[in-house]
Amino acid sequence: MGMQKLIGGAAIAALLALAAPVSAQVKIANDGPMDLEKNGTYNWTKAFQDHLEANGMEAEQYEVESLGGEEERLDQVSQGLLEVSMSAVKMAGQLDPTIYGVMLPFFFTGIEQQDHALFEGGMLEKINEQTTPKGVRVLDLPLVGTAAGIFNTKHPVATPEDMSDLRMRALDEIQIEMFEAWGSQGTIVAWSEVPNALQTGIADGYLNPPIAPLLFGHQSFIKYFTDARLVQSSRVALVSEDWYQSLSDEEKQVVQDAAKAGREANRAWLAKQDAVLSQLEEAGIEVSELSPEAKAEFARLSETTYGALPLSEEAIAEWEAAKGE
């Protein structure tokens, strides 16, 4: 990590420490535009904030990355400098790999099954058994959109063979292994660099929920979308465990109820997202679906990469049992 980044992180932490206080105002860091129409996670944070304030707990929203990047926000939450952060799943995964179960491609039939595993099957509780001693509580897993599909700039994708000439933007080495299993290539590109990568051919596409190019303005680069529904587009609502444990039992219940209100708002927004497919078409992006046979082949190839995740066979079996039928 460079000195400039260290100084920047220290400056943000100092500002948060000065701003923190006495007033017990809850700081909420967003991970995308504060747009209720386009951003599912903002629907969560807005409903969360509204419930807190309706019950006497003041809260303030912060624009994406105004309090630092993913790693900086994780540090701030763990140190008690930031109360709530909407973050990438892998941030919680750094503290406990159990959460990577939600990133297993084609593992869940839909969000209902994933929610069942988390909230009825006990997996969220198992995750927090490991993360809370490290200063971070996973309060919820909001969605940024419907399940992820395959976007690219070159041609329609109907089978794994169609991936052979595509170099895909990868989030990490885990995605690179999956792309290779599909017969493609991957290259790690920071999200902020994706527009340039797509324009210059460094990357030919990415995996994301349908809303992504509309939310981030990529519709002039992206030309094709395959609605593969390979993994739920989960994010994590992280809260400071130090802050949470400083609350009274009544305040903790308000926070839990606020998370439930956030989840309900997020899922209500999600229920309207099928309309996004027509919005993609209106933006000039060709939309297609996988045949049952092609989806089964993608799923078979993807399953060979489960070992790339830092997730034990025992943990995968726990997720399998928790998700039910």
What are the structure tokens assigned to 168, written together? 């895909």
- How far is Cα 290 from Cα 285, in angstroms, rounded to an integer? 16
Q: Residue 24: what pLDDT? A: 58
The CA–CA distances, whole Å, from 40 to 33, 95, 141, 162, 276 equal 10, 25, 11, 31, 12
Tell me the pTM: 0.84
- How far is Cα 157 from Cα 266, in angstroms, rounded to an integer? 29
| Four-residue CA torsion sign, 277, 101, 186, 194 | positive
pLDDT in 10s for each residue of the chain, 325 residues: 443 444 455 445 444 544 444 345 999 999 989 999 989 999 999 999 999 999 999 999 999 989 999 999 999 999 999 999 999 999 999 999 999 999 999 999 999 999 999 999 999 999 999 999 999 999 999 999 899 999 999 999 999 999 999 999 998 898 999 999 999 999 999 988 999 999 999 999 999 999 999 989 999 999 999 999 999 999 999 999 999 999 999 999 999 999 999 999 999 999 998 899 999 999 999 999 999 999 999 999 999 999 888 999 999 999 999 998 7
String of b and e for 70-85 (b: at least 16 CB within 10 Å)?
bebbbbbbbebbbbbb
> CA Rg, the chain, in Å?
20
Q: Residue 88: what pLDDT? A: 94
Question: Do residues 86 and 44 make contact, with C-beta atoms less than 8 angstroms apart?
Answer: yes
- How far is Cα 84 from Cα 310, in angstroms, rounded to an integer? 25
The CA–CA distances, whole Å, from 292 to 183, 264, 295, 299 equal 19, 31, 5, 10
Q: Residue 23: what pLDDT? A: 40
- How far is Cα 325 from Cα 273, in angstroms, rounded to an integer? 25
Helices 40-54, 249-270: crossing angle, 10 deg rounding: 150
> At which residue do the structure tokens 């995740």 appear?
309
- How far is Cα 86 from Cα 31, in angstroms, rounded to an integer? 6
List of domains in the chain: 3-144+235-270 (3.40.190.170), 149-231+274-323 (3.40.190.170)
Helices 292-303, 173-181: crossing angle, 10 deg rounding: 130
